[in-house]
Amino acid sequence: MTLRKLSALALLVLLLTGMLAACAPKEEAGPVTIQVYYPVAVDAPIAAIFDGYIEKFQEQNPNITVEAVYSGGYGDVKTAIQTTIDGGGEPPALAVMLATDLYDLVNAGYILALDDYIAADEDGAAYMQDFIASFMENSHYDGKTWSIPFQRSAVLMYYNADFFAEAGLEPPDSWAAWGEAGQALTQKDSDEVTRWGIEFPSGWPYWLFQPLAIGNGQNIIGEGDAEVYFDDPKVIEAVQFYIDLSEKYGAMAAGVQSIWGQAPTDLASGQTAMIVHSSGSLNTLLEQADFEVGVMPLPGKTAGTYASVPGGGNLYLFDNIDKVKQDAAWKFIRFLSEPERAADFSIQSGYFASCKGAYETEVMKAYMADNPQVAQARAALDVAGAEFSVQNLGEVRGIFHNYLQQAYNGELSAAEAMAAAQAEADAAMEAFK
Amino acid sequence: MEKETARSRIDRYLPYLLVLPTFAFVSLFTVWPTLSALYRSFFQQRLNIAKFRTPTFIGLGNYADIFSDPHFHRVLGNTLFYIIGTVPLSILLGFLFAMLVNRKVRNVGLARLAFFHTTILPMVSAATVWMFFFTPGYGLFNTALAALGYSGPQNWTGSPDLALLAVMIVAIWKNAGYYMIFYLAGLQNLPTPLYEAAGLDGANWWQKIWSLTLPLLRRTTLFITTIAFIDAFRTIDHIFVLTSGGPSEASTVLLYYLWQKRFEQLDIGLSSALTVILILVLLVFTITNFRVSEKGEEDV
């Protein structure tokens, strides 16, 4: 090897070392990248809205990069994260998952309690106080707080106010009035139904069913984390009322109705007078319908009582990742739940704003003045019970769905079905008693 | 001499070298997960129940639980019904479609496209479209049936008697066009002199199909049967969209059940045992299928 070759090699080594040194991260204020897993509904521009927030957040925090990973629905996000963690990979810093996933996520050791962050925050207590109470129902376990409400909804009844006016009917204020209104508004051409009084989806039935039980004074879950009331006489009565809507009043098609996707379109196009659906459909309905859309919680059994139940997703912070990433993720959580942003998210997406402060902002007030239905939907939260969440939720919910649908389809009586559901559910939660 | 040895050494190792990439992939993505599932199936492990989070060895406990569970029996029944109802019919339709479009007539390309286009659609999109077809009252499927004089129940996705049938209809509709392509390729490779000879011998159309076309397409049929069978176990996207396995498990098939156990109920042990059962069923079928077909070949 000649001297020239040697010196060239030395020079190359020197250059490479220099380049590597230049690339080495600086210790102070190191840039950090966090991932957020986010479920997006197929038809909503939510990804675009969320990207906008990320951009603004990165402007305010130049050393933090937020990567949003959008995928299917809530189930897909949860599955993706589970698979990552079980395969030994690193979870994202943050994810939006169902509020009801709480117990599974804590028990599996996936998520981090937020109490330290709340305590360290100078106005942490005020921040937590501002969330709408019924959205916090599924955030506490084991004396700790585990999630922050974000993309929240509730069960509502939408009705075609023009049909009600034509028939000289008032919006129903009790089960009996509801059934009778449905009956009166159902139209037939000889034997064929041309317009239903009510469409009440039941392909994935627990959520929309819950307001019936709550409206009869007994939610299907209790205070404890392994407590269900499927065979309570009031719950059985609520199951029977669903069946009565078709059997007794003829106001609805018989049996299980897998019509979640069609129901809002059916209301907008005059195929039905009332639907029970998510508050998330409000914007679509207001855009599509050429009549006055009425919005209310579901009537309860006794006159003058109403009921609803919240739903939707919360923000969860993950365990077993760098503290730097967790700190950045907490910052992003705080950024997302600022009242102005929550108000903007609500207006753009149709979900509720998660905090009371958002409803006090000028933009929100103006928006509600233009769309009185938004305030009516918001009022449903005042009569909402807790959403179905217990230990071993996947299995217990599966059991409840199975028997509830058997009752809806007339394979078992309401009482038989709920007794069987109770027994199986108690067995499935044995480990927690 | 020395050159010869080097040559034969290459000859000896080259085949191994060539299969190495495939071997690596199969080991990593098929053999390893299978062994891992087999191992985990002997343990009780539930991620969402703190005291069962660390695996405990329970021998064949998971298998005992599975086979004594009435829900599993229901699921097995559904799966069997689903396979018997979809596999032969979609293969038969695929063959008929292929016969239909294997002719030199005008616009045959359009007909081929019509039969084949269902294959290109993603299953989720196809199922979403079918959800609207199935809508009671004004759905296209119900309207079409009504025009043909059908006046039975219309709640395809919500009725316990119809839900499984509904997801089967979508599967048949989706797959027949796919199998058609293989049969079409097979038909176009058939030797014409044979048919001319048969024609001279006075064989009629049906005899030609039965004695020439079908035996000559045996290998194609074997291939299609295998992929159709595996596909029937594997494809459950439309069940998620149309029925979520309901109502009351009426349309829950084996893989959907496995998904529920693994991802909804976080039951690692039980879902691993179900995976092993699924693999065994597929293995037994595939081997039997090949054996039977090879035997048939010797007979010819």
| pLDDT at residue number A5 | 57
**Cβ contacts (< 8 Å) between A259 and chain B: which residues?**
135, 158
Query: Which DSSP symbol is given to A382?
Result: G
pLDDT band at A1 (very low <50, low <70, confident <90, very high): very low
Confidence at residue A191, expressed as pLDDT on a 0 to 100 scale: 78
**In this model, does residue A20 exceed pLDDT 50?**
no
Residue A7: predicted pLDDT = 57
B47, B53, B78, B275, best to mutate vs chain A, most A CBs in 10 Å: B47
**What pLDDT shows up at residue A415?**
96
Beta strands in A200-337 (DSSP E): 272-278, 293-296, 298-299, 306-307, 310-317
Q: What are the C-alpha distances in Å from B100 to residues A62, B103, B208?
A: 64, 7, 15
ipTM: 0.85
**CB contact B200 to A (< 8 Å):** no
Q: Is the peptide bond before A339 cis (omega within 30 degrees of 0)?
A: no
Q: Say yes or no for a CB contact (<8 Å) between B48 and A258.
A: no
Q: What is the mean pLDDT of residues B231-245?
A: 92
Of the two residues A7 and A379, the one the predictor is more confident about is A379
Q: What is the mean pLDDT of residues B206-223?
A: 89
Which carries the bigger pLDDT value, residue A329 or residue B195? A329
Q: Is B184 on the interface with A (CB under 8 A)?
A: no
User: Per residue in B79-115, pLDDT tens?
Assistant: 999 999 999 999 999 999 999 988 887 888 888 888 8
- Residue of A10 and A107 predicted with greater confidence: A107
CA of B124 vs chain A CAs: smallest distance (Å): 11
Q: In the prediction, which pLDDT does B50 show?
A: 83
Contact A391 B49 (CB under 8 A): yes
A154, β-bridge pairs? A310
Shortest CB distance from A402 goes to which of B52, B131, B248?
B248
DSSP letter assigned to residue B4: H
Alpha-carbon gap, residue B68 to B84, rounded angstroms: 24
- pLDDT for residue B238: 94
Question: Is the per-residue pLDDT at A30 higher than 80?
Answer: no
Residue with tokens 């007994």: A218
pLDDT for B195: 86
B158/A contact by beta carbon, under 8 A: yes
**Across A208-234, average pLDDT:** 95
What are residue A405's phi and psi, to 5 degrees? -70, -35
Q: Is B53 exposed, middle or buried (CB count within 10 Å of its CB: 0-12, 13-18, 19+)?
A: middle
Q: How far is B158 from chain A (nearest CA, A)?
A: 5
Helical ranges in A87-123 per DSSP H = 102-107, 115-120
State the pLDDT at residue A168.
94
- Name chain A contacts of B135, Cβ cutoff 8 Å: 259, 262
A167 touches A195 (CB < 8 A): no
Q: CB-CB: which of B128, B242, B248 is closest to A405?
A: B248
Task: With CB atoms and an 8 Å threshold, state whether B246 touches A258.
Answer: yes
pLDDT the model gives residue A6: 53
Contact B134, B156 (CB under 8 A): yes
Please report where in the chains the tokens 């998620």 appear, as a residue.
B240
Closest residue by Cα to residue A178 from A266, A265, A274: A274
Q: What is the pLDDT of residue B4?
A: 61
CA distances from B269 to A412, B129, B292 (A): 32, 36, 35
Q: Residue B227: what pLDDT?
A: 92
In 3D space, the residue among B150, B172, B167 whose CA is nearest the CA of residue A258 turns out to be B167
Interface test with B, best of A199, A258, A416 (most B CBs within 10 A): A258
Q: Indicate the helix (H) or strand (E) that contains A325.
A: helix A323-336
pLDDT greater than 60 at residue A15: no
What CA–CA distance (Å, rounded) separates A285 from A193?
23
Neighbours of B287 (CB within 10 A): 10
Residues near B253 by beta carbon (within 8 Å), at least 6 away in sequence:
B75, B78, B79, B82, B233, B236, B239, B245
Q: Which residues of A touch B (CB under 8 A)?
A: 75, 78-79, 82, 86, 103-104, 107-109, 193, 202-204, 253-259, 261-262, 271, 391-395, 397-398, 401-403, 405-406, 408-409, 411, 431-432
What whole-number distance in Å separates Cα of residue B130 and Cα of residue B148? 19
| pLDDT per position as a tens digit, A349-403 | 889 999 999 999 999 999 999 999 999 999 999 999 999 999 999 999 999 999 9
The answer, for B28 touching chain A at a CB cutoff of 8 Å, is no
Give the mutation candidate from B264, B268, B270, B275 for the A interface (greatest A CB count, under 10 A).
Answer: B264
Q: How confident is the model at residue A162 (pLDDT cuts 50, 70, 90)?
A: very high
Pull the structure tokens for residue A409: 């389809």
Residue A14 pLDDT exceeds 60: no
Closest CA to A112 of A394, A290, A297, A326: A326
Share of chain B above pLDDT 70, in %: 97
Would the pLDDT of A409 be above 80?
yes
Average the pLDDT over B39-45 and give the result: 94
Amino acid symbol at A378: R
Q: What is the mean pLDDT of residues B273-287?
A: 93
Q: Which residues pair with A70 in a beta bridge?
A: A38
pLDDT tens, residue by residue, A222-272: 988 999 999 999 999 999 999 999 999 999 999 999 998 889 999 999 999
**CB burial class (10 A; 0-12, 13-18, 19+) of residue B109?**
exposed
Task: Look at the alpha carbons of A235, A240, A243, A245 in this order and tell me if their dihedral is positive or negative.
Answer: negative
* Any A CB within 8 A of B173 CB: no
Q: What three-state secondary structure class fits A364? A: helix
pLDDT for B232 beyond 90: yes
Report angle CA A300, B136, A417 to the nearest 5 degrees.
Answer: 50
Is residue A401 within 8 A of residue A206, CB to CB? The reply is yes
CA distance B208 to A398: 54
pTM of the model: 0.87
Q: What values do phi and psi take at A316, rounded to 5?
A: -120, 140
Q: What would the mean pLDDT of A18-36 be, rounded to a whole number? A: 62
Q: Is-contact A315 A96, C-beta < 8 A?
A: yes
What is the sign, positive or negative, of the torsion defined by CA atoms of A349, A351, A352, A353? negative
* Residue B299 pLDDT: 55
Percent of chain A at pLDDT > 90 equals 76
Contact B232, B255 (CB under 8 A): no
Query: What local confidence, expressed as pLDDT, does residue A433 receive?
Result: 80
d(CA A95, CA A315): 6
Q: Can you spell out the DSSP letters for A232-249? A: -HHHHHHHHHHHHHHHTT
Contact A385, A161 (CB under 8 A): no
Interatomic CA distance for residues A125 and A130, integer angstroms: 9
Contact between residue A421 and residue A236 where contact means Cβ atoms under 8 Å apart = no
Q: Calculate the average pLDDT of chain A.
A: 90
